[in-house]
Structure 1
Amino acid sequence: MADFIAWVLVIAIAAYACAGGTDYGAGLWDLLAGGAERGKRPRRLIDHAMAPVWEANNVWLIFVLVIMWTGFPTMFQAVFSAMWLPLALAAAGLVLRGAGFALRKPTRRLAQRRIYGAMFAVSSLVTPFFLGAVLGGIASGRVKVGTTASAHAWANGTSVLTGLLAIAATAFLGAVFLFSDARRFGAHDLVDYFRLRALIAFGAVVVLALIGLPVTHDDARYVWDGLTGGWGLLLIILAAVCGLATVLLVLRRSYGWSRYTSVASVALVVGAWGFAQRPYLLPTSLTVAEAAGAAHTLRWLVIVTGIAIVLVGPALVLLYRLDTLGELEELTAADTGAARTPGDNL
């Protein structure tokens, strides 16, 4: 049961990396869209593309936390004791990001929209970086039971690189999805706008991955060995193939399959990381068996997880499908034309 729950945890992390990651990437492109006039149309597209699903995407994060503290309380305690500062910064970014996104659209004063927009955009950069830094600290073996909080646990080469990779990967996902959304909503001039950004983001992922090879080899050797052999290596190869396929599809302006291949590339990397750490949750100090909670707790967790998959899973799939088909919220001609709204000059 402990192994089953551990893999459920990995799958949930992959789901959050893909679903939430797409939103974070959209926030990054919002930040880089330019001034009020220049960035108005991309930001309108981002608002409408995200609006139907951005709250649902955070369900996966809640699921991850519940699995951690219920199924693996020892791991939960160790991680949150050693990494409380980056996790607190990530949580603050998550709250400010949601508040900024929710408040900027109905706000009529330009100055206030800028403040809320900055909250949303900057937090979309901060949150994935610190979540990635935490994963990097875990992968490098710096978190053990009893480890006290210090910058050493998360401000190191592996953590910084993983945080930057998280930002680049979310930027890649966000641009690929917005590339498709621009065509779906009829904002045809934004198709090439986000197409170019998807290619740039993929280039950043490749560069950071190449930089990470010697860093991971020296600083996270156990995970390195897992990623360069067995199932870990196979999934990394498949992730690379999916990434390259996404680039080809984007170049050919194939709007449907590019989403699936981009999501697969990120999900496969998370899966490879899960295989690379086996049998440890905290390399190389805490195994899955050692971290597992009481047997009766795991049994109930398996039951509740199964019920959640049956009840919530189809609803989320339907939500994502309806959103992909553009059935949840239409982008009007006024929106794609960046029509002026009351208070634009205030």
Structure 2
Amino acid sequence: MELTTVWFVLIAILFIGYFVLEGFDFGVGVLLGTLGRDDRERRVLINTIGPVWDGNEVWVITAGGAMFAAFPEWYATLFSGFYLPLLLILVALILRGVAFEYRGKRDDERWKRRWDWCIFGGSLLPAILWGVAFANIVRGVPLDADHEYVGGFFNLLNPYALLGGVTTLALFVTHGAIFLALKTRGEVRDRANILAGRVGLVAAAAAVAFLVWSLLIRSSPAAVVLAVLAALALVGGLLANRVRREGWAFIGTAAAIALAVACLFAALYPNVMPSTVADANSLTVHNASSTPYTLKIMTWVAVVFTPIVLIYQGWTYWVFRKRLGTSDIPA
């Protein structure tokens, strides 16, 4: 297998890890005011992701760094053409991170509610915009012969991309609700379980529509298989949630998100950013990549450090594996 293909797959894995892990973070943030009916319950929700949310964001930072080093043409075109939506995502993530840190600095209800709104907005906006961005990558964007984006911001707000944003939002909220049902006890767990079942139906309908539309735009045999498996995983997760098997339900929604993202990358390959102007203008794993020597060095670095990161993050989740309830929150 060529190193360009290896790094395409590795970047896909990094984004899969990001959407699976940060996905439930976004879902918890969006549901903060819905499932948390008082300050103590909202603190329970925040504490379920408190030890892991910042570690989960490392996945997208690593994905961006890998894209910059392995496919600099892809990185340059993506971050210049999608400048505004990616800037909005960055601002939202910064605001959400500040809100987590500052919410408890003052014992004032109005102060906390303002930061709660920041957590909500900082989770909602990226949950939508990541779907819009990836849908546009799969659909293709106007690129000229120099591989530069020649469209405008509103070119990105097409019906297919907006459906992608609705799909990621619904999937992340479902994933987050199931995570809360898995990590909490008492009334919060009961409400999360019920809400996951309701939102899950919306997520299933949106995901099926989006994946079918995606395969009509760009497809491959592997992408079709992955799309079917993603649908089955989501149905299995929702059925497990219905019988209160939250562990299996979480595995189901995590697998559904992972397989759906893998489906998009499989449909995209060997392109990394198709052009809607002319096929010759498209960026591929070949014309967007770094030199073979650069890819070789990066591969050895990844072989050494990736297992260390995975072991550390896995250990973090194991340490903070227990359920939380309002009785664990001091007055």
| Cα gap change, 1:214 to 1:253, in 2 (>3 Å) | closer
Match of 1:231 in 2: 222
Specify which of 252, 260, 280 is matched with residue 269 of structure 1.
Answer: 260
User: What is the total number of aligned residue pairs between the two structures?
Assistant: 320
Q: CA deviation at 1:310?
A: 2.4
Q: CA deviation at 1:241?
A: 1.3
| Matching residue's letter, 1:68 | M
Q: CA deviation at 1:109?
A: 1.1
1:285-307 per-residue CA deviation (whole Å, 9 max, x = no partner) reads: 11111111111111111111112
Specify which of 187, 196, 199 is matched with residue 198 of structure 1.
Answer: 196
1:295-342 per-residue CA deviation (whole Å, 9 max, x = no partner) reads: 11111111111122122111111112222246xxx656162xxx7x5x
Is it true that 1:154 corresponds to 2:156 in the alignment?
yes
| Cα gap change, 1:190 to 1:257, in 2 (>3 Å) | same
Name the SS for the 1:91 alignment partner: helix
Q: Does the 8 A contact of 1:24 with 1:171 survive in 2?
A: yes
Match of 2:55 in 1: 56
Match of 1:221 in 2: 217
CA distance in 2, matches of 1:264, 1:283: 27
CA distance in 2, matches of 1:301, 1:153: 35
CA distance in 2, matches of 1:46, 1:143: 42
Q: CA deviation at 1:113?
A: 0.6
CA distance in 1, matches of 2:201, 2:38: 23
Name the SS for the 1:324 alignment partner: coil
Match of 1:322 in 2: 319
| Cα gap change, 1:175 to 1:75, in 2 (>3 Å) | same
CA distance in 1, matches of 2:152, 2:33: 30
Match of 1:344 in 2: none
- Name the stretch that deviates more: 299-308 or 38-47: 38-47
1:138-169 per-residue CA deviation (whole Å, 9 max, x = no partner) reads: 11111532113512442111221111111111
Compute the RMSD of aligned alpha carbons.
Answer: 2.0
Specify which of 166, 169, 172 is matched with residue 171 of structure 2.
Answer: 169
| Cα gap change, 1:136 to 1:24, in 2 (>3 Å) | same
CA distance in 1, matches of 2:195, 2:44: 15
CA distance in 2, matches of 1:90, 1:312: 24
Match of 2:18 in 1: 16
Match of 2:327 in 1: 333
- What is the percent sequence identity of the aligned residues? 24
Q: Does the 8 A contact of 2:71 with 2:289 survive in 1?
A: yes
Match of 2:5 in 1: 3
Match of 1:282 in 2: 273
Q: Does the 8 A contact of 2:92 with 2:126 survive in 1?
A: yes
Structure 2: unaligned runs, 5 residues or longer: 276-281
Q: CA deviation at 1:91?
A: 0.5
| Matching residue's letter, 1:194 | A
| Cα gap change, 1:23 to 1:213, in 2 (>3 Å) | closer
Structure 2 length-normalised TM = 0.91
| Cα gap change, 1:334 to 1:11, in 2 (>3 Å) | closer
CA distance in 1, matches of 2:109, 2:322: 32
| Cα gap change, 1:12 to 1:251, in 2 (>3 Å) | same
- Name the stretch that deviates more: 240-249 or 170-179: 240-249
| Matching residue's letter, 2:18 | Y
| Matching residue's letter, 2:89 | A
CA distance in 2, matches of 1:13, 1:43: 29
Match of 1:293 in 2: 290
Structure 1 length-normalised TM = 0.87
Match of 2:308 in 1: 311
| Matching residue's letter, 2:93 | L
CA distance in 1, matches of 2:222, 2:104: 45
| Matching residue's letter, 2:304 | I
Q: CA deviation at 1:177?
A: 0.6
Q: Does the 8 A contact of 2:92 with 2:122 survive in 1?
A: yes
CA distance in 1, matches of 2:66, 2:328: 44
Q: Does the 8 A contact of 2:21 with 2:56 survive in 1?
A: yes
1:54-87 per-residue CA deviation (whole Å, 9 max, x = no partner) reads: 1110110111111111100000111111110000
Q: CA deviation at 1:122?
A: 1.1
Name the SS for the 1:289 alignment partner: coil
Q: CA deviation at 1:172?
A: 1.0
